[in-house]
Structure 1
Amino acid sequence: MGPVNDVPEPEQPALLGLDDVQGPASGPRGGKARRKAALGAHEIAEVLPVARVVLDLQPAHLDREYDYLVPASMAADAQPGVRVRARFGPQEVSGYVVARAATSEHTGRLMPLRRVVSGDPALSEPVLRLARAVADRYAGTLADVLRLAVPPRHARVEKEILAALANPPSVEPVETTPVVNVPSVEPVETTPPAESTHADPWAPYRGGEAFCRHLLAGGAPRAVWTPLPGLAPADDGSVGHVPHWADAIARAVRATVAGGRRALVVVPDARDADRVCEALEAAGVGDHARLLADDGPAPRYRAFLRARHGLAPVVVGTRAAMFAPVPSLGLVVLWGDGEDTLAEPHAPYPHAREVLALRCELEGAALLLASPGRTVQAQALLASGWAREIVAPRDVLRARAPRVRALTSVELAAEGPGAAARLPTAAWRAARDGLASGPVLVQVPRTGYLPVVACGRCRTAARCAHCHGPLGLPRQAAAPQCTWCGRLAGGWRCDECGDSRLRAVRVGSDRTAEELGRAFPGTTVRVSASTAPGGVLDRVAAGPALVVCTPGAEPVADGGYAAALLLDAAVATSGTGLAAATEALHRWLAAASLVRPARDGGQVLLVGDAAPAPTGALVRFDPAALAERELAERRELALPPAVRVAAVSGDREAVGALVGRVALAGGEALLGPVELPPEPDGRGATLDPRVRAVVRVPLAQSAELARQLRASLAVRSARREGGSVRVQLDPKEML
């Protein structure tokens, strides 16, 4: 196709079903006068007059690039990566310029861009490539992924960042309140910071020091790392309060920065981000951006722009930071890949582990996948040879780990009547002895007071009369309340036997703290949970105290905990998901890692009859063995990650129509559809009956399955088929 002046006037496509708002093409154009007539008061750019734009459009069949003409007044600003507004049919929508071109393959009339929202490119080319790869992998649209990747614009923050870039600090800095810590001319420190006084945290691991040497030399190693338990030593040699894993991550980041590249660290929550930032400060890497959605729009966008413009060599953040625009990326770290918060709840539902693995391949960066436990997906990366294992020898682990005991019913058979209590006598003695030398951690699986109750006579689950949701007790002597719609059930009676008494089925953290307060009078009892008055605690003092927490809310104790009690172990492994065993072990090891070594009297007691496999793995402190066993079983049964799975849920007719267009969903590859349990709709009622169909294919057909599902979704949106449907590849319940 020739230059724009030599082709017929193209026509911008409109939304399906709408009349052509611009009229038919009117023949060839000739010269600037014709361009002015076509664009009204606008004159198009002389150089690269066509902008390829990705628009923020929801329908799947509109997921492609669109060509627009660039007015001459916008030619300098409408560069790849900038936000723009453009007309699409009768509406004006947002989008990003992804390329500039001299010609367009579109045969109709092209519309001009309406305006450039900001001349600062918010979308970098590596992030665009990553977003396209994620959309392809999860059968999503590029617009959906870009909503996750690029935060909303904050004009004031953008102005501050651009002003700081335009006026870097001179020898005598201006006495103002800096909003951004602008580095020197070279954005990446190439000189390693001064050595800390304590030993290298990577020295005890096989391959640990070699991994850091590769990072320093500019290599791209990929590793799955199981850290040792315990806390990092302070500068004076005593036990500090920073977890060992955070200290080791900071040292790996320091090696990357010293080698002239940048690093990205993704963690499950803000507390872990704070710990990594503190460890970075101690390691001499003080210039970093903290990218957390909980910080609010302005701080989040400030951190985003600092990363985008290379003003910080390190970016630390939660799930959304997996798309952070880090130039010259040398290392990507993911901590706790088994945590639920790392799975994106919005379409196309990507997981941070898979996104960061894609990113490392696309950008040639190193990957460090670290967790106190080990997921089956991480073990699959090792089994395929894609990554290498970093683990400490068993003798080093035994010297650093606390003593672990499993108080099962067999173990407690000789305890007498005290063995049947929720806190057996052996656990009570361990807590009493631990309180003599420091704090004791008590982990319970559930938050709240009594989150699940049942009939006191026939033990039928107590349910709400309005929406049939489960009932619970929010506090002592309170009326039962529905956990779905929130309605009180003061006059509740059992539908089976008519009895009005209630009994506890699940005991939460608040009730556990109340019981421990009676069992240990005069002892301080603190609760760390999302529903607790003080919220989730980050740190507790070294004095005697009972700290009750839910999984993931364990605060760090100065000097480590003297003991840890892991209550209701049977509840932790009673889930129906494939990952119930590895998730339970992950939660237990996360708590046990905060306890002092056995040589200092530290001990961990697992209370309850949990599944044998995770129980044995906890006693041995060996998550790798459990993950390897689980992976072997899944290969034999053709379950993820040995195969690729897609779950299609929604109305029965919509699910049937969408799956019917997928050629791979035939024969044994299709499971279901089956009806799903009722769900609350948020207004006190339950949703209409829904079904789910599962498509299971070999790994070699993963890309084709995603492509066919994406094409079927495009047909569905183009035809405006009724009903609701959701497509999710790699659903959590099947991982």
Structure 2
Amino acid sequence: MSSVGGSSGRRPAAANPIARVAVDSPLPHLDRPFDYLVPIELDQVVGAGSRVRIRFAGRLVDGWVLSREPASEHDGRLAYLERGVGDEPVLTPETTALFRAVADRWAGTFADVVRLAVPPRHARAEAAAPISPSAPTTALQSTGWPRYRAGAAFVAAVAAHRPARAVWNILPDEDWPVRVAELVRTSVAAGRGAIVVVPDARDSARVDAALSATMPAGSHVLLSAELGPEARYRRWLAVRRGSVMAVVGNRSAVYAPVRDLGLIVLLDDGDDLHAEPRAPYPHARDVAVLRSALGGAALMIGGHAQTAEAALLLQSGWAQRIAASRDELRAAAPRVIATGDDFELERDPVARSARLPAVAFRAARQSLAAGHPVLLQVPRRGYVPSLACVKDRTPARCPTCSGPLAASGPGATPTCRWCGRAATDWHCPVCSGRALRAVVIGAGRTAEEIGRAFAGTVTRTSAGDQVLAEIPDGPSVVVATPGAEPFVAGGYGAALLLDGWALLSRADLRAGEEALRRWANAAALVRADGQVIVTADASLAPVQALVRWDPSGFAERELADRRELDFPPVSRMASLTGEPADVAELLALAHLPASAQELGSVSAPPPRRAGRPLPPTSETIRLLLRVPRADGVALAEALHAAAAVRSARKSGGPVRTALDPLELF
């Protein structure tokens, strides 16, 4: 055993005097446990999962105790823990294992994952009276799940503590927060905890309201950054202490320390809000899959659309589909019309080029006449978010930073969307023309045009910083960007999905999948007897999937295309971004799997701060590595080991390493 070191006069604890500590440091070469002696005065204070302060490399830093051990394998002298932080542990054995698994899968560090999962300590919240446990929850006698094939079987599996896994195709007219609340109540009544992960605050509020109406008061908590540090930490502590068995929240809620976790529900997994923008950049869906596999919890991934990743889970047999019959779907879904189909073009020859063709106006007028609101989904916020030269359609760029120019209102001077500078003297670099035209019409300009077309009708805008959560039923027009569509209790009478080309023409692997997801979420807000008008070519696969309401078929086709190209999720990819010499050094140090393929490097955009690009000191490149899915763990280990060597050497500049990046191009 190692000899005692540290402060004179301090004595180690009699039992398990060694604390194995993870240091709060993002440096990859420090991503391992370090042994410290537990002084006798901290014996009853410090345990597995506790926050501590330690002396490391001459500095006082934070750390987390992973375990207490009787002896150390280190032969040298050990330092003592300086002090404990807080009165109780913040890590559990289950979350510790999960954090380590997430760090390993995404080539990150344990400390990075803890920062994503554990809120900062708040002393006043820790000292406050604990939240009292709620009254026991009783099981529901009946639910709405028999409406779906295998729905009742999944509920029975949750009640019986079986680790069922499913992909849920939500019906358009479904009150999905109530269905989720029924699942949560089933799990809690069976003595197991539950976690519900949704993309944004509006969805969290709807699920929170459904749980409040279904379960005893105090039986669940909503974890949200909008609560403030004290309230959020107090609720998180209630979950950690076992006083609360159910949690609702956004992507960080997937790590919540729920005791005896029996159910994880994740909604709309294609939403990019589920992708963590901080290292190690994990996706909430994949963390949920990993946690379900590690802990044996049931998992439900649901949405009106379906991703290729969910389709892969189904094809592999790891998950089963929960969906309604076609008869049930036809009765629930509104009629979907594509303005680019042959029938509509015969009736209205200009429908292909018109932004609001005749069929869209008819649907809107019918909805308003029937006393129902009309939804217009516009891909972009703002007034005119994209401009181009009138003569040759050359995109208008800022002369200072090359950012796109936009107009904030009628007659307004174009300004850069990146640096905010006004382009008072812009001229086309090709033809020297000075006249500009709109390339994309934003929500603000659309609302202005619709207000003139439907004079006397209330027009609302939901976009950007002014997102409406809900509107009253009645004749009105709502112009919203994707994801900002307000909920209306009676449903919209019609939805007009404008500028489909703007979604489908994006240079992105997931462009078609994302367009269908946004359209389906908007269409699901329409009454079963209403209409959905999508202004896009009817021959395109995403449009056909929406017309037939077949998200599963589209996801299977998308997965087949990805398999043919060997793109994710069939394979795993890593993105390396940095200066060329640094990326080359990392690759030279990494012992990559033999199956690894280098897909070449491209120039990366300059880094940004507060939404503005910074002048690059030198060239920045982005390189992609691809391996078969079975070698994904080996790729992550190789990149982490190489990063650790570079970190220990203090060589070169940083290289941003992201596995399974959301955007490949």
User: Smaller-chain TM-score range?
Assistant: over 0.9
Structure 2 counterpart of 1:183: 133
Offset at 1:587? 0.6
Matches within 5 A, 1:480-495: 480-495=414-429
Q: 1:205 aligns with which of 148, 169, 178?
A: 148
Amino acid across the alignment from 2:124: R
Which residue in the other structure is 1:216 paired with? 159
Partners of 1:439 and 1:561 within 8 A in 2 = yes
Check conservation: 2:595, 2:627, Cα contact below 8 A.
Answer: no
| TM-score (normalised: structure 2) | 0.96
Once residues 283 and 681 of structure 1 are traced to their aligned partners in structure 2, the CA distance between those partners, rounded to angstroms, is 44
1:149 aligns with 2:83: no
Deviations 1:695-722 (A, max 9, x none): 1111221111111011010011111111
Q: Could you tell me whether the CA contact under 8 Å between 1:467 and 1:685 is conserved in 2?
A: no
Question: Partner amino acid for 2:366?
Answer: D
Quote how far apart the aligned CAs of 1:414 are.
3.8
> Secondary structure of 2:146's match?
coil
The answer for the alignment partner of 1:247 in structure 2 is: 178
The equivalent of 1:116 in structure 2 is 84
Other structure's SS at 1:692 match: strand
Does structure 2 retain, via aligned residues, the 8 Å contact 1:572–1:610? no
Matches within 5 A, 1:57-456: 57-160=25-128, 163-164=129-130, 180=131, 182-183=132-133, 189=136, 191-192=138-139, 200-231=143-174, 244-286=175-217, 287-408=219-340, 410=342, 411-417=344-350, 420-437=353-370, 438-456=372-390
Deviations 1:236-271 (A, max 9, x none): xxxxxxxx1111111111111111111100000111
How far apart are residue 281 of structure 1 and its match?
2.3
Kindly state the Cα deviation for residue 723 of structure 1 after the two structures are TM-superposed.
Answer: 2.2
- The aligned residue for residue 648 of structure 1 is 576
Cα deviation for residue 491 of structure 1 reads 2.2
Partner Cα distance (2:519, 2:356) in 1 = 17
Contact 2:173 2:524 in 1 (8 A): yes
Alignment partner of 1:691 out of 621, 635, 647 = 621
**Deviation of the 1:413 alpha carbon:** 4.8
Deviations 1:72-100 (A, max 9, x none): 11110011111110000121100111111
Compared CA separation, residues 80 and 513, structure 1 to 2 (3 A): same
Q: Residue 539 of structure 1: SS of its match in structure 2? A: coil
Give 1:548's aligned residue. 479
Partner amino acid for 2:648?
A
1:676 is displaced (CA, Å) by 2.4
Partners of 2:189 and 2:170 in 1: how far apart? 23
Checking the alignment, whether the CA contact within 8 Å between 2:197 and 2:250 is kept in structure 1 is yes
Work out which of the residue numbers 634, 643, 646 in structure 2 matches 1:713: 643
Deviation at 1:375, TM superposition (A): 0.3
Residue 171 of structure 1 corresponds to which residue in structure 2? Answer: none
Q: Does the aligned pair in 2 maintain the 1:273–1:317 contact within 8 Å?
A: yes
Per-residue deviation, 1:449: 0.8
Aligned to 2:490: 559
Taking the aligned partners of 2:469 and 2:596, their CA distance within structure 1 comes to: 49
The change in CA–CA distance for 1:405 and 1:596 in structure 2 (over 3 A counts) is same
The aligned residue for residue 554 of structure 2 is 626
Please state how far the C-alpha of 1:285 moved relative to its aligned partner.
4.8
Alpha-carbon shift at residue 684 of structure 1 (Å): 5.6
Paired letter, 2:143: D
Give structure 1 stretches of 5+ with no counterpart.
2-6, 11-37, 165-179, 232-243
1:614 to 542, 558, 561: 542
What is the aligned partner in structure 1 of residue 510 from structure 2? 579
1:589 aligns with one of 520, 526, 530: 520
Match of 2:460 in 1: 526
State the distance in 2 between where 1:666 and 1:456 align.
Answer: 52
Identity of aligned residues (%): 49
Aligned length: 660
CA-to-aligned-CA distance 1:495-547 (integer Å, 9 cap, x gap): 2222221110111111110110011111110011124xxx1111111110001
Is the 1:581–1:611 contact (alpha carbons within 8 Å) kept by the matching residues of 2? no
Provide closer, same or farther for how the CA distance between residues 523 and 634 of structure 1 changes in structure 2, counting only shifts above 3 A: same
TM-score (norm 1): 0.87
Q: Secondary structure at the match of 1:203?
A: helix
Counterparts of 2:588 and 2:282, CA distance in 1: 24
Cα 1:522/1:190, change in 2 over 3 Å: closer
CA distance in 2, matches of 1:547, 1:612: 27
Structure-1 separation of matches of 2:233 and 2:505: 41
**Residue of structure 1 in register with 2:656 after alignment:** 726
Q: Give the number of the structure whose alpha-carbon radius of gyration is greater.
A: 1
User: Structure 2 regions of 5+ residues with no counterpart?
Assistant: none
Which amino acid letter does the alignment assign opposite residue 486 of structure 1? G
Deviation at 1:477, TM superposition (A): 1.9
Aligned counterparts of 1:494 and 1:391: Cα–Cα separation in 2: 53
